[in-house]
Chains A and B, each alone.
Chain A
Amino acid sequence: DAKTTQPNSMESNEEEPVHLPCNHSTISGTDYIHWYRQLPSQGPEYVIHGLTSNVNNRMASLAIAEDRKSSTLILHRATLRDAAVYYCILGGADKIIFGKGTRLHILP
């Protein structure tokens, strides 16, 4: 099963961009890359997903390496409300694998 590797934690200053990395060197050709986040005492929340091309939505951007072995979630301007655990997930027909996640701390 393809797995993801993320840093355990990261810090960023408020109102600055944040780049959250994820390695997935054993990704298969059909796996989508999904990002979710989990705020304290809440269920996970969808952030963004992509296959090969970079993706943008109102919450974030997803930059996917050309070889698809890594990706980066970009929060363009972090706020205190973005403090959460961010999960990088590979989605396949029979594989739903959560990474350990990165705990993002936002410094005021």
Chain B
Amino acid sequence: DTAVSQTPKYLVTQMGNDKSIKCEQNLGHDTMYWYKQDSKKFLKIMFSYNNKELIINETVPNRFSPKSPDKAHLNLHINSLELGDSAVYFCASSPTGTMNTGELFFGEGSRLTVL
């Protein structure tokens, strides 16, 4: 069983469209995250949720809206896609709200290409 699973793995779409990436974890963790890895391979946190509540929002444009229906799911919806949104998006989860004691478990990533 995959611990942190993301769908879709690949997504190609046109500028201006709206798309969603789904993430589910079966580890029973309280905290989930979305990270963005751009073409230069920099890995940056976007959001973190703890028990369905937003904890961190790292100056992400409001076109990006995370939604957590329950603590096992954290979906990422992106409106009005732009070329600069092309990246690999990683979902992660951890058993604690900070990185101080818990380790992060990452999904395999969703590669978004905006044309």
The answer to the question of A11 belonging to the interface, with a C-beta cut-off of 8 Å to chain B, is: no
Contacts of A43 in B (CB 8 A): 4, 90, 92, 106-109
**Number of A-B residue pairs having CB atoms within 8 Å of each other in the complex:** 50
Tally chain A residues at the interface, Cβ within 8 Å: 23
Q: A31-44 vs B: 1/0 string, CB under 8 Å?
A: 01010101001111
Q: How large is the interface on B (under 10, 10 to 19, 20 to 34, 35 or more residues)?
A: 20 to 34
The answer to the question of A16 belonging to the interface, with a C-beta cut-off of 8 Å to chain B, is: no
Contacts of A87 in B (CB 8 A): 43
B101:A32 contact, CB within 8 angstroms: yes
B100:A44 contact, CB within 8 angstroms: no
The answer to the question of B18 belonging to the interface, with a C-beta cut-off of 8 Å to chain A, is: no
A85:B41 contact, CB within 8 angstroms: yes
Which B residue sits closest to A91, measured CB to CB? B99
Interface residue ranges, A against B (CB under 8 Å)? 30, 32, 34, 36, 38, 41-46, 49, 85, 87, 89, 91-94, 96, 98, 100-101
